Amino acid sequence: MEKHILFVDDSPTMRSSVSFCLRNAGYRVTEAVDGEDGVEKVQSMEEKGESLSLIITDINMPKMDGVGFISKVKETEFKFVPILVLTTVAEESVIKKGRDAGASGWLMKPFQPEQLLWAIKKVVWPK
């Protein structure tokens, strides 16, 4: 079964490059343009009975930031889906808020495709 990843980022360039990397690695990718759109996509997946293997989100986004988005996801049936944060934010206080909200891991932009794929394998296929 193909692994399904939701990627949430307000940058069209970042969405394009990460999605390209993930699709080339064999993942099915759904994109969302901000936290609000991400919540809508999650709710739609719930309603359709779709599966979700991983969520990757930015932190700094309009309408709803990544921490707010993570908190909302944790109120859904996808509350146990691992969430990786891919961001430019390195402040310890924000990282703590993200982890407290439920983030499984924190990666810094700009990303290296190999590093991203390695992190995904660690959280999607833990031993």
Rounded to two decimals, the pTM is: 0.94
Structure confidence by residue, pLDDT tens digits, 115-125? 999 999 888 77
**pLDDT over 80 (residue 127):** no
Q: What is the pLDDT of residue 124?
A: 79
Which CATH entry fits the domain spanning 4-124: 3.40.50.2300, 1.10.10.10, 3.40.50.970, 3.40.50.720? 3.40.50.2300
Q: Which whole-number Å values give the CA distances from 14 to 48, 78, 106, in the listed order?
A: 27, 24, 16
Give residue 78's pLDDT band: very low, low, confident or very high (50, 70, 90).
very high
Judge contact between 85 and 59, C-beta under 8 A.
yes
Which residues make Cβ contacts (< 8 Å) with residue 84, sequence separation at least 6?
54, 55, 56, 57, 103, 104, 105, 106, 107, 119, 120, 123
Question: Rounded to an integer, what distance in angstroms lies between the CA atom of residue 121 and that of residue 115?
Answer: 10
Sequence ranges of the domains in the chain: 4-124
